[in-house]
Structure formats: C-alpha cells, structure tokens
Amino acid sequence: MVIKFTLTMIKVRVNIQGKEKDFDKVELSWTSEITIEKYLQISTLWLKRRNLLLETMDGLRRVGSSSLTLEPLDKEIKSLK
C-alpha cells in the first residue's frame, strides 16, 4: 500500500554544519510504498519510543513537540501525481 507520511515538529533545534539553528516549525511530507506489517511497525515504534526522532535524525538536537501522520493512499492516487 502507498502511505503519505507527514512529520510535524514544533520548536526544533538542529546542528547545520557545526552551527545550532532554531526553527518554530518544521514539516516534512513524503510518500512510500510499504506493507501493512511495516505500517504497524512504524506506528508502534512512534508510540513507544519517546526520543525516536533525536535518536534517528542526525543533527537534530531538540524537539518541543511532534506528530506523525500516516495516511494510506490508493495506488491510483499515486499514479496521478
């Protein structure tokens, strides 16, 4: 199935080429084709690991709050883009 991911982070601090930079809001959006098992794995991991973003995103230093939306899309929708 095709999933649209939207990651929203509020009050973000990142290290860019050795310099700390603050952002009020960062939003990333992408689509990916994954299995239902992977969909469930991502959902569970997001809920269980409090510092998931800090542990997995290089250069990310602080996140005030964040949300991850996983929206299933039909393959027909993907082919129209």
Average pLDDT for runs of 10 along the chain of length 81: 93 94 96 89 87 90 92 63 50
Q: pLDDT at position 75, please? A: 59
- What's the chain's Rg over C-alpha atoms? 15
Q: Model's pTM, two decimal places?
A: 0.78
Sort 12 into a burial class: Cβ within 10 Å, 0-12 / 13-18 / 19+. buried
